[in-house]
Amino acid sequence: TTLLFLSPKDLYTAPDSCEGRCEEPYSEEDECHCNAECERYHNCCEDYYTHCRPEGFSSSWDAITDEDLLHISEQLYKADHNKARPTDITINPQYQASPDETGDQEDRSPQPLYKYVNEELFSKPTYASFIKLLDNYQRATGREEDVTAEELREQDNFLKEVMKTELMKKLFAFLHKKNRYDSEQEFVADLKEMWFGLYSRGNGEQDSSGFEHVFSGEVKKGKVSGFHNWIRFYLLEKQGIVNYFSHNFNGPWDTYPEVLGLQFSWDGFYKEVGSAFIGCSPEFEFGLYTLCFIARPGRACHLSLGGYSLSIQTYAWTKSTYGNGKKYIATAYVISP
């Protein structure tokens, strides 16, 4: 006769909570999971971020609640003093594609998306420093980025200019109050790493960063990857390098920032759905994406802008880290309803 000795662990069925279970080895028996890989596979327990975030923010006074996010996002929306005025931009969205048409790669809009942009906007310090960053990247993944001293200065200058704005000062004050950063200097240093730190999307080459992917855009396996910025789109459309095909979502705003889900071609490479804020300042996008990456990495981050609901999705790069196990930004974008 064989005796089977069951340990208490064999008899234990994990609850749908991460309390006391952080970094527990994966088991297919569990209803939900509490190790770092659960973010990648989207099978974390609902309270994973409360109990198991690497920074350990588990007490109620420094947790970022859903209500906090609605409140701070409205504050940032109101603080976007550099956004376009209604007279600064005229867009021509033309054809609205249905969900089963977004993959067709068919140009259903003969005219450009932008009829008019007041380019005086681009002389504002945050716009000017942002635009200087856009040509610093090789768009093909798998090609090593060669970062010059001049480009590093441009990164520092952009961060310096955005941190002068009321919007980014409000974001820092919020994160400081929530015990995420002790000083503005620490915040800026972390922004530089999470957004501009290089990692490999290819075969080991330092070929990508969060900023390049989200704002400048990349080409991977013959398709456009990232590219969620209206200024970048306008400048390339004006040069004839981007061809607007259609949109599949138009947000409820009657002023800027507006939100569109776009179909377009970039030098012959196609983007099936590229959501973008239109008419916001660079610091607005940069700030909202940063907020959501810190507060809700790897899952939908629910915000309120001018009384309207909007969600942002971010993902962390999981294959390499900086500092004490901190994650780079892999992507960030508006979720079109």
pLDDT in tens, 293-313: 999 998 899 999 999 999 999
Residue with more model confidence, 202 or 111: 111
The answer to whether residue 2 is domain-embedded is: yes
- Count of domains for the chain: 2
The pLDDT of residue 50 is above 80: no
Q: Are residues 174 and 268 in the same domain?
A: yes
Based on the domain organization, do 80 and 225 belong to the same domain?
yes
d(CA 126, CA 129): 5
Distance CA 252, CA 250 (A): 7
What is the spatial distance between Cα 193 and Cα 200, in angstroms, rounded to a whole number? 14
pLDDT at 254: 87
Average pLDDT over residues 226-255: 95
Residue 58 lies in a domain: no
Same domain for 129 and 89, yes or no, is yes
- Read off the pLDDT of residues 20-41 as tens digits, 9 standing for 90 and up: 777 777 777 777 888 877 766 6
Name 286's Cβ contacts closer than 8 Å, sequence gap at least 6. 162, 168, 195
Mean of the per-residue pLDDT values of the chain: 88
> pLDDT-derived band of residue 61, with 50, 70 and 90 as boundaries?
low
Does any domain span residue 87?
yes
Whether residue 246 lies inside any domain: the answer is yes
pLDDT at 143 over 90: no
Q: What is the pLDDT of residue 58?
A: 44
12 band by pLDDT with thresholds 50, 70 and 90: very low
Give the burial string for 189-217 (b: 16+ CB within 10 Å, else e).
ebbbbbbbbbbbbeeebbbbbbbbbbbbb
44 with 161, same domain: the answer is: no
List beta partners, residue 332: 314
Residues 13 and 20 sit within 8 Å (Cβ to Cβ) = no
CATH code assigned at 43 = 4.10.410.20
Residue 77 has pLDDT above 50, yes or no: yes
What pLDDT is attached to residue 336? 62
Structural domain including 4 reads 1-53
**Residue 174 phi, psi dihedral angles, 5° rounding:** -65, -50
Residues 226 and 264 in one domain: yes
Is 6 a residue whose pLDDT tops 60? no
For residues 70 and 204, membership in a common domain is answered with yes
**Pick the residue with more confidence: 58 or 97?**
97
pLDDT-derived band of residue 243, with 50, 70 and 90 as boundaries?
Answer: very high
What's the Cα-to-Cα distance from 54 to each of 58, 69, 122, 239, rounded to whole Å? 10, 20, 39, 44
In a domain, 61, yes or no: no
Contact 249, 202 (CB under 8 A): no
Are 104 and 235 within one domain? Answer: yes
Q: What is the rounded distance in angstroms from the CA atom of residue 293 to the CA atom of residue 315?
A: 7
Residue 120 pLDDT level (bands cut at 50, 70, 90)? very high
Residue 266 lies in a domain: yes
Q: Are residues 73 and 200 in the same domain?
A: yes
The rounded distance, in Å, linking the Cα atoms of 240 and 218 is: 18
Q: Are residues 41 and 79 in the same domain?
A: no
pLDDT at 172: 98
Weakest-pLDDT range from 42-46, 77-81, 119-123: 42-46
Whether residues 81 and 201 share a domain: the answer is yes
Look at residue 240 and tell me if it is in a domain.
yes
Confirm whether 59 is domain-assigned.
Answer: no
Residues 13 and 108 in one domain: no
Active-site residue set: 213, 228, 271
Nearest C-alpha neighbor of 287 from the set 132, 204, 154, 172:
172
CA distance 23 to 285: 33
24 and 172 belong to one structural domain: no
Which pLDDT belongs to residue 40?
64
Q: What's the one-letter identity of residue 242?
A: V
Sheet holding 300-305, edge to edge: 300-305, 308-322, 326-335
